[in-house]
Amino acid sequence: MRSKPIGIFDSGAGGLSIWKEINALMPYESTLYISDAKYAPYGSKGADVILKRSIVNTETLIGKGAKIIVVACNTATTNAISYLRKRYKIPFIGIEPAIKPAALSSATDSIGILATKGTLSSALFHETSKRYSRDKTVIEQEGKGIVELIESGQLHSNEMKKLLEKYLTPMLNNNIDCLVLGCTHYHFLTPILKQLLPKNVNVIDSCKAIARQTKIVLEKSKLLNENETKAEHVFYTNGSREVMANLMDWDQSIIHKLY
């Protein structure tokens, strides 16, 4: 069981930001990655659709031998992970917007959160936000259109820059000094955001923390691969192989078509 792969899924290529950290931290772990891009964006879909897609992805990964599943998507985590944990026996790791570290480190007591509509409207997000940011100003912003631009290969477009400027303006007017990236796709925006934001604003995402948490759970569950053998990585998408490959600077031949 220890040599089986870690299963990872997202509505698209966003979860590769987590895959990258998992691979860096645990180079001997094999992985299976599903980009469910045909159904992206999850963020504007109803909770029932997000749950259904999460079940399909989970069952595909289990069917291909995954020993643990990383839900590399804030929208799927906040809407579906409690159901998945009840229904399936294997461990699940999820990702939620990093409100706690942002609230703890903010000197201006004002933080911005960029996330999908599906995440911002979820009960889990409300709970976390209430718990950690009670005495802070929190500017929530739906990143409408961002995932679509990334999934259509327009990460570096003018349209993206304009959208981001629009979304950041109310946050900067409220003097934020932390910007939480509440969607795994947004990690790829980091270099652009750093150009648009003043130097005192920290951009926070949870990718490294999720990789560490995955390792802890694998260790506790006695699932961590102890052999220093070459890891195998298989990537699947039901969307564009080219877009996914370009984001990571890969050759698209390593990405397989999925249903």
Output the CA torsion 179→23→124→99 (10° steps). Answer: -30
Interhelix angle 123-132/74-87, rounded to 10 degrees, is 110
Does 40 bind ligand DGL (CB under 6 A)? Our answer is yes
Show which residues are catalytic.
Answer: 73, 183
Does 206 bind ligand DGL (CB under 6 A)? Our answer is no
Does 54 bind ligand DGL (CB under 6 A)? Our answer is no
Does 205 bind ligand DGL (CB under 6 A)? Our answer is no
Map the footprint of ligand DGL across residues 61-90, applying CB under 6 A: 73-75
| Distance in Å, CB of 114 to ligand DGL, minimum | 10
Cβ distance to ligand DGL smaller for residue 163 or 172: 163
For residue 137, give the amino acid letter.
Answer: T
Map the footprint of ligand DGL across residues 109-128, applying CB under 6 A: 116, 119
Candidates 19, 33, 42, 236: give the one binding ligand DGL (CB under 6 A). Answer: 42
Cβ distance to ligand DGL smaller for residue 31 or 74: 74
| Distance in Å, CB of 225 to ligand DGL, minimum | 26
Candidates 80, 99, 120, 147: give the one binding ligand DGL (CB under 6 A). Answer: 147
Cβ distance to ligand DGL smaller for residue 183 or 201: 183
Distance CA 168, CA 203 (A): 12
The window from 36-44, 158-166, 172-180, 222-230 that contacts ligand DGL (CB under 6 A) reads: 36-44
Does 43 bind ligand DGL (CB under 6 A)? Our answer is yes
Joined tokens for residue 250: 């890969």
How many residues touch ligand DGL under the rule CB under 6 A: the total is: 16
Q: Are 72 and 14 in contact (CB under 8 A)?
A: yes
Other C-beta atoms lying within 10 Å of the C-beta of residue 96: 22
| Binding positions for ligand DGL, rule: CB under 6 A | 10-11, 14, 40-43, 73-75, 116, 119, 147, 183-185
